[in-house]
Amino acid sequence: MHIKSEKNRTVELTDIVSECRDISSLLFRDEETRGAKPGQYLMVWLPGVDEVPMSVSAIDMDGLSRITVREVGEMTVRLNGLSPGDRVGLRGPFGNGYTVQGDKPLFVAGGSGAASLMPLVEEMHRQGTTPTFVLGARSADMLLFVDRLEETLGENLVVSTDDGSRGYSGYASGYIAKLMEEDVFDMVYTCGPELMMAKVYQSAREHGLPIQASLERYVKCAVGLCGNCAIGPYRVCKDGPVFDADMLSEVRDEFGVSQMDASGRVTRVEH
C-alpha cells in the first residue's frame, strides 16, 4: 500500500446524516478514501477520545465518501454528535476488502453490517449483477440503508426483524438457511454481529458455498505490526478484515467464540 494513505490527516465533515435509530453517516472529501476498495476501513481519530476502525460505507458518492457509525460507546456517540465543519483524523483505507465474485451472490447483513457491504452492492450492481440481500435488524427503525438498498435491488432485498415489526420475523441467519434451500447461490457475503456471521458460515458450509465475511477485532496499529487483532494466524487489520472460507475454516475455533482484549487476554465473543 502506498504510504501516503497510511499517514495521518484530517478531513472536514461536510454533512452528518441520520440513517436510522442510533446510526448516522459522516460525509467528507478525502482523496485517499476515493481509492478505497469495498470492504476496506479507515482509522478514525477524535483527539482526546479514541481512534477506531470504521468501514467505508460510500466510496466517492458525488465526490464524497462516508463512514457510518452506530452508537455503541463514548467514541461513536461523540462522532455522531459532530456537526458540518468539524474535523476528524483519518488513516487508511486499510485491509484487504471484498473480492468481487459470483453471478448470483447472497448478501447477509445484520446490525450495522450493511455499512461495509453497501459499496460492494453498488459496485456489483454497476457491473450488472443484482445480488439477493437479506438485511436484518432488531426492529424496523434500525434497518440500515433500507431505502438505498431497495432503490438498487428492488425485490431482491429481503428484510428481517427480530421483533417482526417489518418483513420476516426472526433472525436473518435463520432466514438465509431457508433461502439457501430454495435458491441456488454461488457466493455469500456477510457482515454483522459475529454470532450471526458464524451461523451464516455454517449454512454456507452445509451448502458448499464460498463465503466472504468481514470480521471485527480490537484494532490498534492497523498496519499488521502489533498483533492485537489476531485471530488464529491472521491479523484482522491487514490479512482481513474480509475472511474467505479457507481462512474461516482455519480460525473456526475462535470465530464466533473468542477474541483478545486490549491486554491480550482471551474473552468470549458476546454477540
Restricting to residues 100-159, which ones interact with another protein according to CB under 8 A?
Answer: none
Q: Does 10 bind another protein (CB under 8 A)?
A: yes
22 binds another protein (CB under 8 A): no
The β-bridge relationship of strands 9-20 and 168-169 is unpaired
* 127's grid cell: 457491473
Site string for another protein, 41-80 (x = CB under 8 A): --x-x-x--xxx----------------------------
The one among 123, 130, 224, 257 contacting another protein by CB under 8 A: 224
- Give yes or no for a contact between 103 and 129, defined as CB atoms under 8 angstroms apart: yes
Query: For the window 183-222, what string marks contact with another protein as x by the rule CB under 8 A?
Result: -------------------------------------xxx
Contact 134, 106 (CB under 8 A): yes
- Interface pick for another protein out of 109, 235, 243, 248 (rule CB under 8 A): 235
The distance of closest approach from Cβ of residue 45 to another protein in the complex, given in angstroms and rounded to an integer, is 6
Cell of 45: 481519530
Q: Which three cell numbers stand for residue 241?
A: 478484515
Q: Does residue 230 interact with another protein by CB under 8 A?
A: yes
Please list, residue by residue across 134-164, b when 16 or more beta carbons sit within 10 angstroms of its beta carbon and e when fewer do: bbbbeebebbbbbebbbebbeebbbbbbeee
Q: How far is the CB of 61 from another protein (least distance, A)?
A: 24
Question: 101 or 267, CB closer to another protein?
Answer: 267
DSSP codes of every residue in 132-168: EEEEEESSGGG-TTHHHHHHHHGGGEEEEETTSSSSE
**Closer residue to another protein in complex, CB, 174/224:** 224
Residue placing its CB nearer to another protein in the complex, 161 or 228: 228
> Shortest gap between Cβ of 152 and another protein (angstroms)?
34
Instruction: Give the interface size with another protein as a residue count (CB under 8 A).
Output: 34
**Choice between 50 and 60, CB closer to another protein:** 50
C-beta atoms surrounding 33 within 10 Å: 23
Query: SS3 breakdown of the chain: % helix, strand, coil, rounded to 5?
Result: 25, 35, 40
The CB-of-149 to another protein minimum distance in angstroms stands at 32
Paired with 50 in beta bridges are 46
Cell of 161: 426483524
Contact 195, 268 (CB under 8 A): no
Question: Considering the rule CB under 8 A, would residue 6 count as an interface residue with another protein?
Answer: yes
| Residue 256 CB, nearest approach to another protein (Å) | 17
Footprint of another protein (CB under 8 A): 3, 6-8, 10, 43, 45, 47, 50-52, 87, 89, 91, 220-228, 230, 232-235, 260-265
